[in-house]
Structure formats: structure tokens, C-alpha cells
Amino acid sequence: MKKVSVVIPAYYEEEVIKKCYDRIKENLEKLNDSYSYEMIFVNDGSKDKTLEILEEIANLDKNVKIISFSRNFGHQAAVTAGLKYVTGDAIVIIDADLQDPPEVIPEMIKEWEKGYDVVYGKRKVRKGETAFKLLTAKAFYSTLNKLSNIEIPQNTGDFRLVDKKVVDVINELPEHNKFLRGLFSWVGFNQYAYEYERQERLARKNKISFKENVEACIRWNN
Ligand code: UDP
Ligand code: MG
């Protein structure tokens, strides 16, 4: 039986983390015993109840594993750590705040079964994003694509399904600070854009600063 691993970075997500687990589980259960699965939550140094809630969940569900950082290392570091521990044939990266709808996971698996190695989520409409965020995201990607030889698809975050062989290549790369969506474009393979509608954030405010985005971009281009 094939196995699906889901990697979920979480930073100060106490309000939504249980709901996130429930929604992801519900959608993995829809796969009707055709696949086994694991959920790897990465607590990125949250000091709220995120870890406590995750531990309660993991005590009851053997499919749940937790990695917990001693301090905040940032979203990309959290996902990178999760990727090191996956044991599945297909790996899904999804945010904990439910902006990426878990209902898309079974659809991504269908595309993977057709032979795509990377099925990346491409955002149709950005609900609840501020005009500033939309403008800076656009400026970010157009600058990035001008600076680098590799085209990074616009309106695309880290939400995606990736075949294990692609994750193995990413894990072999020597960079300590990985800009994952750049590297996933760079490694090639057979890629498919799955269009979906990104949701509004349910709980706390956005935690990834403009500074972190720019730093990740600069690191990637060095
Ligand atoms: N996150 C994280 N470490 C951080 C910031 C964010 O693990 O330092 C997690 C966060 O809990 C969420 C995901 O990364 O699951 C995306 O973060 P956020 O929602 O703040 O970013 P955006 O939706 O604006 O891309
Ligand atoms: Mg978010």
C-alpha cells in the first residue's frame, strides 16, 4: 500500500491546530484505505499551547509525529526539517492555518497517480490578502524571476504534493537555508499546477515577514 506523508509547519497556531489536524485527517480518510498516511507537525518554537495540543493529538493517533524546535527558525526551516523525516511515497506540504484547503489533497494525489512528480498549488484568488501583500508578492516574484535563471511560478507558495524521489533530491542538497519553492522549480521533474482558491487565515495574523521573504530570496540567489 502506498503511503502519503503530510508535513505541517506550525508557529503560534493554538487556535487552529486541532481543527487543522481534524480537517487533514478527514481528507486522508477519504482515500478509503487505498493509502496509509502519516502527519508530521513541526512546531517552530511556538510558546503558546500549539505543542501541548499536538502532544495530546499524537498520544491518541499513531499516525501523528511531532518535531519541535527549541526556538523559532522560520517556516522554510520547519518544512525542511519535516522533509527529512518523511517515510511516504508522496509528500504533501501544507500550512497549519488552513489557508491551504486540505480538501485539495485527494485531488493532488489523483494528479500524482497520473505520473506527475510535483503537483504544486497555484492560487486562483487570494481571499483576505491586503493590497500591500498582493503588491509586494507581485513585486517579489517579478524581481526574483528577473534575477534568476529559473522561473518560479507566480501565485504559488509551498502548498504542494511531491514524489519521494524529488524529496530525496532536495534532502541531498547542501544548502542549510533552503528556499523550497525555488529549489522545487530548479530540480525539474514532471510538474503540474493545480489551481485552487486560497482561504482567509482563520486565527492569528500572518507570521512571515516581508524581511523573511526577501532574506530567503537573497540566500537562494547566492
Ligand atoms: N510558520 C512557521 N514558522 C514561522 C512562521 C510561520 O512554521 O516562523 C508556519 C505557520 O504556522 C503556517 C505557515 O508557516 O502554518 C505559513 O505561515 P503564515 O500563515 O504566517 O504565512 P502566509 O500565509 O502569509 O504565507
Ligand atoms: Mg497563512
Encode pLDDT of 46-97 as tens digits: 999 999 999 999 999 999 999 999 999 999 999 999 999 999 999 999 999 9
Other Cβ atoms closer than 10 A to 183: 19
Count how many domains the chain has.
1
- Quote the domain boundaries for residue 162: 2-221
Residue type, 30: K
Alpha carbon of 56 to ligand 2 centroid (Å): 24
Q: What is the pLDDT of residues 113-167, one digit of tens each?
A: 999 999 999 988 666 667 777 788 778 777 877 777 777 777 888 999 999 999 9
Q: What is the pLDDT of residue 186?
A: 84
**How does strand 156-163 pair with strand 90-93?**
antiparallel
Q: What is the pLDDT of residue 194?
A: 95
Among 17, 41, 75, 141, say which to mutate for ligand 1: greatest number of ligand atoms within 8 Å of CB: 75
- Strand, coil or helix: 214: helix
Alpha carbon of 61 to ligand 2 centroid (Å): 25
Q: What is the pLDDT of residue 147?
A: 76
Among 93, 200, 207, say which to mutate for ligand 1: greatest number of ligand atoms within 8 Å of CB: 207
CATH of the domain at 111: 3.90.550.10
Rounded-to-integer distance, Cα 9 and Cα 52, Å? 15
Rounded-to-integer distance, Cα 125 and Cα 11, Å? 24
Which is more confident, 179 or 129?
179
Q: Could you say which DSSP state residue 1 is in?
A: -
Alpha carbon of 89 to ligand 1 centroid (Å): 25
Q: What is the pLDDT of residues 3-38, one digit of tens each?
A: 999 999 999 999 999 999 999 999 999 887 789 999
Q: Which residues contact 119 (CB under 8 A, 6 or more apart)?
A: 108, 111, 112, 160, 161, 162, 191, 192, 194
Closest by Cα among 117, 97, 107 to 46 = 97
